[in-house]
Amino acid sequence: MARILSIDYGKKRTGLAVTDPLQLIAGGLATVSTYQLLDFLKAYFQKESVECVVVGEPRQTNGKPSENMARVKTFVGRFRKEFPHIKVEMYDERFTSTLAHNAMMDAGLGRKARQDKALVDEISATIILQSYMESRRAGRTPSST
């Protein structure tokens, strides 16, 4: 079975998470500079089999697209041209940064670690992926692009 990879796309940094090959557990993979993202993914896809990429869909609390939505859609378009054989799904990422900070506090991480934006991005990607997997198990269908 191939992995599922999630992307928490940001203007400067992008958090990545991935499942195990059996798609049971989501775990943080890395945080990369956004301008290096496609190169990172090319290298990763050469080593690992990935069947689906879940991209965090940035929305405001009222459900309207956030300012990052245009950048995410541009990235998804480039991704689909570069990797046409990999399915892409969008998944609501509202509140993932807050959940990531809460998880860091619950884990007992100090203030300095909680201020590490790269770590927050990776944890956010993990939360997106875990939530996506849970919704799939519950029979809810995420939006495909």
Query: What number of residues does the chain have?
Result: 145
The gap between the terminal CA atoms of the chain, to the nearest Å, is 22
**Overall CATH class of domain 3-144:** alpha beta
pLDDT in tens, the chain (145 residues): 899 999 999 999 999 999 999 999 999 999 999 999 999 999 999 999 999 999 999 887 787 878 889 999 999 999 999 999 999 999 987 656 655 555 555 656 566 654 556 777 888 899 899 889 988 887 765 554 4
Instruction: Find, among 13, 11, 9, 17, the residue nearest to 133 by Cα.
Output: 17
pTM for this prediction: 0.83
The per-residue pLDDT for 65 is: 79
Predicted pLDDT at 94: 65
Which pLDDT value is given to residue 64?
83
Q: Would you list the DSSP string of the chain?
A: --EEEEEE--SSEEEEEEE-TTS--EEEEEEEEGGGHHHHHHHHHHHS-EEEEEEEE-B-TTSSB-TTHHHHHHHHHHHHHH-TTSEEEEEE-TTHHHHHHHHHHHTT--HHHHT-HHHHHHHHHHHHHHHHHHHHHTTPPPEE-
